[in-house]
Amino acid sequence: MSEETHAGAVLRLLRPIDSSRDHVRGDAASPLAVSVVGYEDFLCPYCHRLRAVVERLREVLGDRLVYVFRHFPNERAHPGAELAARAAEAAARQGRFWEMHDRLFGREAPLREDDVLDLARDLGLDMERFAQDLASDSARARVEEDRENGRRNGVTGTPTLFIDGMRYDGAWDFHSMLEALERPVAARVHRSARAFANLPTSAGLVLLVAAVAALACANTPLAPTYERMVASRFGLGPAGAMLSLSIRDWFSEGLLAVFFLLVGL
């Protein structure tokens, strides 16, 4: 069994996020962004609970949390789920997907057409256009495309989540999901730091930045504070035999000696 599958479920997200097609909340361009792709049903009670958790995560992570909603309605279990999914797509045609998304998650099953028309009216949508889009074959096809993609990805129930492209099978509580979301960010920072450290010029760049920072401190209103800092004394060793030098001397007599030794080696 490959690492891509487990017990018949595909662990890696097969269709990557496409901002031109998917419904995306968050800043996908951020270097520290972490994505959550959810295959969900507007009338699924577990999806309702997850929505509250996602809102808390957005408060903590802000736009770094890139949340992608994909349809996976289960009409048999949740009457009105197909209608809700089409209503969200009809609202999306007028640029109001997320407003409709939030209102639909505030409703319970069953859901009738009059209910979604009332929601659209409350949003101030063009009602004639909304009704046409709601009944259109293209809205049905868009929902079905998401559902088929989910099935190919091993989705059988809702909600099914993929974090940074990998299936998440952990708990849906706030702390468990926050830990899972922070882990990819930490790994990405670690990889970036290692890549920078492996550059032949990384040490020179650090020295250049340090020199520029020191010049700025010595030639700006920060100069008195900088002088007090480098002149402050710092000691090492046991009481009575402590070696006490200023921070300036520790750098010039100690760290620079080590630096030139490493350069010579």
Per-residue pLDDT of the chain (265 residues; tens, 9 = 90+): 344 555 445 689 999 999 999 999 999 888 888 999 999 999 999 999 999 999 999 999 998 999 999 999 999 999 999 999 999 999 999 999 999 999 999 888 789 999 999 999 999 999 999 999 999 999 999 999 999 999 999 999 999 999 999 999 999 999 999 998 888 655 555 445 555 555 566 667 777 877 787 787 778 887 788 778 777 876 776 655 667 777 777 777 777 777 777 777 7
Per-residue model confidence (pLDDT) at position 109: 77
Calpha distance 211→8 (Å, rounded):
57
Per-residue model confidence (pLDDT) at position 213: 79
Closest CA to 66 of 14, 30, 97, 25: 25
Calpha distance 10→190 (Å, rounded):
27
Please check whether residue 10 is in contact with residue 167, taking contact to mean a CB–CB distance below 8 angstroms: yes
Please check whether residue 13 is in contact with residue 37, taking contact to mean a CB–CB distance below 8 angstroms: yes
Predicted TM-score (pTM) of the model is 0.69
**Under 8 Å CB-to-CB from 183, ≥6 apart: which residues?**
none
Which two tokens mark 6? Answer: 């487990």
Tell me the per-residue pLDDT of 31-81, one tens digit each, with 9 for 90 and over: 888 999 999 999 999 999 999 999 999 999 998 999 999 999 999 999 999
| CATH number given to 5-193 | 3.40.30.10
Distance, CA of 42 to chain centre: 22
Q: Give the DSSP letter of residue 163.
A: E
Per-residue model confidence (pLDDT) at position 208: 80
Residue type, 95: G
Per-residue model confidence (pLDDT) at position 210: 77
Identify the three-state secondary structure at position 103.
Answer: helix
Please check whether residue 111 is in contact with residue 79, taking contact to mean a CB–CB distance below 8 angstroms: yes
Q: β-strand 166-168 against 9-10: which pairing, if any? A: unpaired
Residue spans of the domains in the chain: they are 5-193, 202-264
DSSP H helix total and E strand total for the chain: 11, 9
